[in-house]
């Protein structure tokens, strides 16, 4: 028979009842890879970097070697910095979706899995900035540079294992306050913007 097409139907094969229901099975028609069956972190990592490409914060929710982390960071920073202002906040990179937003001199960049909701990730970023803002009072890049450990603590109260943990601003800040008090009691050092020279990678 010649290579003519028999009558075709456009129905994608839909998950049957009892399927391990992966949504958007029809996403395949778009030519994108369907969600992989392994359990995924909602967020794989979050990076904060300056306009000059200097990394300020990095939080990884997947285990990777240092070498891989450096490689990913380098590539991603380059890619995001190359974007023009009017472009959309999402891009596809390797097999991940990258959601990024610029706040003043800092780029906040999250990597999420294919099936995750991009807009809500944008709001995760925004919520995090709000938390930092409330805590530091009009937060700027310097605050994060000098108090990066607090920034990580706040992030850890908000996200855990890549998932949103607590969405109430009040509760997160209350938890941080309590942690601060505990720290003060044990260290008898008053909270100040002190420089801690050794930058840890989390």
Binding footprint of other proteins on the chain (CB under 8 A): 1-6, 8-15, 17-21, 23-34, 39, 41-42, 84, 86-92, 95, 117-120, 122-124, 126-127, 160-171, 175
Could you tell me whether strands 96-103 and 90-93 are parallel, antiparallel, or unpaired per DSSP bridges? antiparallel
The first and second tokens of residue 130, run together, are: 């709000």
Least distance in angstroms from the C-beta of 44 to other proteins: 12
Nearer to other proteins, 167 or 196 (CB): 167
Exposed, middle or buried, 44 (CB in 10 Å: 0-12/13-18/19+)? buried
Nearer to other proteins, 23 or 53 (CB): 23
What are the two backbone dihedrals, phi and then psi, of residue 61, each rounded to the nearest 5 degrees?
A: -110, 5
Crossing angle for the helix pair 118-136 and 169-187, nearest 10 degrees?
A: 40
Nearer to other proteins, 93 or 146 (CB): 93
Least distance in angstroms from the C-beta of 61 to other proteins: 8
Least distance in angstroms from the C-beta of 5 to other proteins: 5
Least distance in angstroms from the C-beta of 41 to other proteins: 7
Least distance in angstroms from the C-beta of 194 to other proteins: 27
Crossing angle for the helix pair 148-158 and 118-136, nearest 10 degrees?
A: 130
Nearer to other proteins, 118 or 145 (CB): 118
In a 13 Å sphere around the CA of 103, the CA atoms on its Cβ side amount to 18
Least distance in angstroms from the C-beta of 81 to other proteins: 16
Nearer to other proteins, 64 or 91 (CB): 91
Nearer to other proteins, 7 or 197 (CB): 7
């Amino acid at each position: 028979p010649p290579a003519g097409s028999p009558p075709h139907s456009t129905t994608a094969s839909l998950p049957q009842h009892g399927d391990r229901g992966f949504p958007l099975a029809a996403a395949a028609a778009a030519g994108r890879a369907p969600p992989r069956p392994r359990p995924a972190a909602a967020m794989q990592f979050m990076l904060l970097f300056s306009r000059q490409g200097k990394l300020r914060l990095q939080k990884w929710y997947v285990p990777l070697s240092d070498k891989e982390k450096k490689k990913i960071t380098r590539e991603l920073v380059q890619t995001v910095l190359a974007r023009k202002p009017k472009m959309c906040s999402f891009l596809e990179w390797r097999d991940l979706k990258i959601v990024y937003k610029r706040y003043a001199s800092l780029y906040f960049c999250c990597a999420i899995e294919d099936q995750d909701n991009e807009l809500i990730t944008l709001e995760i970023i925004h919520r995090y900035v709000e938390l930092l803002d409330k805590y530091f009072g009009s937060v700027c890049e310097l605050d994060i540079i000098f108090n990066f450990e607090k920034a990580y603590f706040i992030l850890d109260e908000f996200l855990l294992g890549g998932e949103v943990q607590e969405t109430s601003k009040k509760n997160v800040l209350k938890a941080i306050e309590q942690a601060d008090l505990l720290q003060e009691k044990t260290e008898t050092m008053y909270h100040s913007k002190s420089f801690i020279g050794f930058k840890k990678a989390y």
